Amino acid sequence: MTATVQVAPDGEPLASGHAFPAGFVWGAATAAYQIEGAAHDDGRGPSIWDTFSRTPGRVYAGHTGDVACDHYHRYADDVALMADLGLAAYRYSIAWPRIQPDGTGPVNPRGLDFYDRLTDELLGRGIDPVVTLYHWDLPQTLQDRGGWTVRATAEAFADYAAIVHAKLGDRVSTWTTLNEPWCSAYLGYASGQHAPGIQDPASAFRAVHHLLLGHGLAARALRAAGARSVSITLNPAAVFPLDPANPADAAAARIVDGLQNRIFLDPLLRGSYPDDMREHMTRFTDLSHVRDGDEAIIQAPIDVLGVNFYTPAYVSAQPGTPAAPEYPGTEGVAFRPPVGPVTDIGWQVEPAALTRLLDRLHTDYGVPLLITENGAAYPEGPAADGEVHDAARIDYLDGHLRACLDALAHGVDLRGYFAWSLLDNFEWAEGYQMRFGLVHVDYTTQKRVLKDSAKWYREVIRRHGLTGRARIGA
Ligand code: IFM
């Protein structure tokens, strides 16, 4: 992929001297449970997030996805907003409980029809549909049978993938199996911060394996059905030793890297779990759930790796520190509190960490990359003039797009960038209090207002690049 130096239409050269390659895809992303609402419409079954959000104390202020952004009913208007922004692609997820309300068995045609309509609406506006099959909303009935701790869920996922492909495969070319299996496994089954809210490391490691197996089986089913592009999205950690010269800090970073990165990347792209992670897992489970041949299934070829990035982590060795619940077995590893600017959710802003992460993924795994999520929570709502002046989000996005340019300049095969998120939405355990949208949503009236960041992003897309630090409306 060659990059030619680009000069913006106003004549101002790009700050970095590098450019986004021709064909670099500009998109935005959402997920079904976070925006659709219509939790009981057209035969949708309950998901683990319906159950979890109704469990007192699990989600901020008892918020649920029952209504969310009402996108299920307003999708045509939302697609019009995407077209107004000039998006080339839109990444959305399919709600498994709409397609198979019980997780297996009968297909609900009305659920499929919704995604049929949405996909046609996108194509009618010239927007490429990028489908994620699983963004955390497991049918509750499957959870009742063990969820991701059992092999049957991986097998059911492949059946579901084939069902969705049979409906949309004539129009959707890019298929992502899972979104952030680290979150599904460790937040869902180890720390319990996410649905299904279980706190059991052994279950978490079983979930890691069955999620990966589900990916491999689904990838195989999609490919057999003719899918052109198959991918998985991870949230790889940009994890660094606090003191790189200190071997104990480096060892601490290596464990976190193993638990969040290599335990997924190695089987996906090298065909086996790393030795240190196998050993680590045996502290909690006998690995009898990992059968001969599973790793070969997991290594099903992918065309691109989706990368979701928000913030780095710095760790050090501190004997006596208890393990972080979402990183089982990390006793003695301390996570440094954020330093410098943070977003509303408390995540450190450090764009250069994205460049380092992309460089590392490129060097170690040599796979084409796509930023499938990047963005920031900031609280701004409409000001007296009715506009949303979210300068900090513009700075965040601008910085991270510059980080992408740096990675491209280093030779990283980076195919595109999806901002998280198109709309303010249900931010899982944080409920609606955290706003990641380019578009502000008033949850009482469902009115949408383009934030300044949305207008800025529209300019970036129009120019196919950045210019200076100009802000819209600043
Ligand atoms: O909102 C989430 C999304 O669902 C998955 N990736 C991280 C985002 C921000 O927390």
* CA–CA distance, 207 with 204 (Å, rounded to integer): 5
> Which ligand 1 atom is the nearest neighbour of the CA of 427?
1
Distances (CA, A) of 259 to 13, 93, 202, 246, 337: 41, 25, 13, 20, 20
pLDDT at 149: 99
**What letter would DSSP give residue 258?**
I
| Test site for ligand 1: of 427, 435, 438, 441, most ligand atoms within 8 A of the Cβ | 427
Tell whether pTM > 0.75: yes
Distance 11 CA to ligand 1 centre (A): 36
Q: How far is the CA of 435 from the centre of ligand 1 (A)?
A: 11
d(C-alpha 339, C-alpha 116), whole Å: 45
Within a domain: residue 218?
yes
Q: Give the Å distance between the CA of 427 and the centre of ligand 1.
A: 7
Whole-number Å distance, alpha carbon 12 to ligand 1 midpoint, is: 34
The whole-number pLDDT of residue 474 equals 35
Whose CA is closest to atom 9 on ligand 1?
Answer: 427
Residues in contact with 35: Cβ distance below 8 Å, sequence separation at least 6, in sequence order: 68, 69, 71, 423, 425, 426
Q: What secondary structure letter does DSSP report for 228?
A: S
Q: Which of 121, 180, 350, 427 is catalytic?
A: 180
Q: Is residue 163 part of a domain?
A: yes
Residue 279 is assigned to a structural domain of this protein: no
Ligand 1 atom with least separation from CA of 345: 10
Backbone φ, ψ for residue 416 (5° rounding): 175, 180
Tens of pLDDT along the chain (474 residues) come to: 333 333 344 334 444 456 899 999 999 999 999 999 999 999 999 999 999 999 999 999 999 999 999 999 999 999 999 999 999 999 999 999 999 999 999 999 999 999 999 999 999 999 999 999 999 999 999 999 999 999 999 999 999 999 999 999 999 999 999 999 999 999 999 999 999 999 999 999 999 999 999 999 999 999 999 999 999 999 999 999 999 999 999 999 999 999 999 999 999 999 999 999 999 999 999 999 999 999 999 999 999 999 999 999 999 999 999 999 999 999 999 999 999 999 999 999 999 999 999 999 999 999 999 999 999 999 999 999 999 999 999 999 999 999 999 999 999 999 999 999 999 999 999 999 999 999 999 999 999 999 999 999 999 999 999 976 544 433
Report if residue 363 sits inside a domain: yes
Secondary structure element (H or E) that encloses residue 370, with its range: strand 369-373
Q: What is the pLDDT of residue 469?
A: 53
* Residue 14, SS3 per DSSP: coil
d(CA 247, CA 447) in angstroms, rounded, equals 53
- Give, using CA atoms, the residue closest to atom 1 of ligand 1: 427
Query: 183 C-alpha to center of ligand 1: Å?
Result: 9
- Structure token pair of residue 275: 């030795």
Residue 388 belongs to domain spanning? 2-229+349-473
Residues having CB closer than 6 A to ligand 1 are 31, 34, 180, 308, 373, 420, 427, 436
The answer to whether residue 250 sits within a structural domain is: no
404 CA from centroid of ligand 1 (Å): 20
Please report whether residue 370 resides in a domain. Answer: yes
Note the Cα 434 to chain centre separation in Å: 16
Q: Which tokens hold the place of 198?
A: 């279980």
Q: Which of 30, 308, 378 to mutate to test the pocket of ligand 1 (most atoms within 8 A of CB)?
A: 308
State the DSSP string of 155-190: HHHHHHHHHHHHHHTTT--EEEEEE-HHIIIIIHHT
Q: Ligand 1 pocket test: which of 428, 430, 441 has the largest number of ligand atoms within 8 Å of its C-beta?
A: 428
Distance (angstroms) between ligand 1 centre and the Cα of 29 equals: 10
- Amino acid 467: pLDDT: 72
Closest ligand 1 atom to residue 373 Cα is 6
Give, using CA atoms, the residue closest to atom 4 of ligand 1.
31
Residue 428 Cα: closest atom of ligand 1: 1
180 in active site: yes
CATH assignment at residue 137: 3.20.20.80
Q: Which of 326, 373, 380, 427 is catalytic?
A: 373
Query: Residue 17 has what pLDDT?
Result: 54
Distance of CA 227 to the CA centre of its chain: 21
The answer to whether residues 115 and 94 touch, using CB atoms and an 8 Å cutoff, is yes
* DSSP per-residue string spanning 397-455: HHHHHHHHHHHHHTT--EEEEEEE-SB----GGGGGGS---SEEE-TTT--EEEBHHHH
Give the integer Cα–Cα distance in Å for 26 and 454. 13
From the CA of 375, give the closest atom in ligand 1: 9
* Residue among 420, 433, 441 to mutate when testing ligand 1 (max atoms within 8 A of CB): 420
Is there a contact between 466 and 460 (Cβ–Cβ < 8 Å)?
yes
In a domain, 39, yes or no: yes
**In this structure, is residue 245 part of a structural domain?**
no
Rounded distance between C-alpha atoms, residue 214 and residue 297, angstroms: 9
Burial of 379 (0-12, 13-18, 19+ CB in 10 A): exposed
Question: What are the backbone dihedrals phi and psi of residue 379, each rounded to the nearest 5 degrees, phi first?
Answer: -85, -5
Strand, helix or coil for residue 335? strand
Number of domains composing the chain: 1
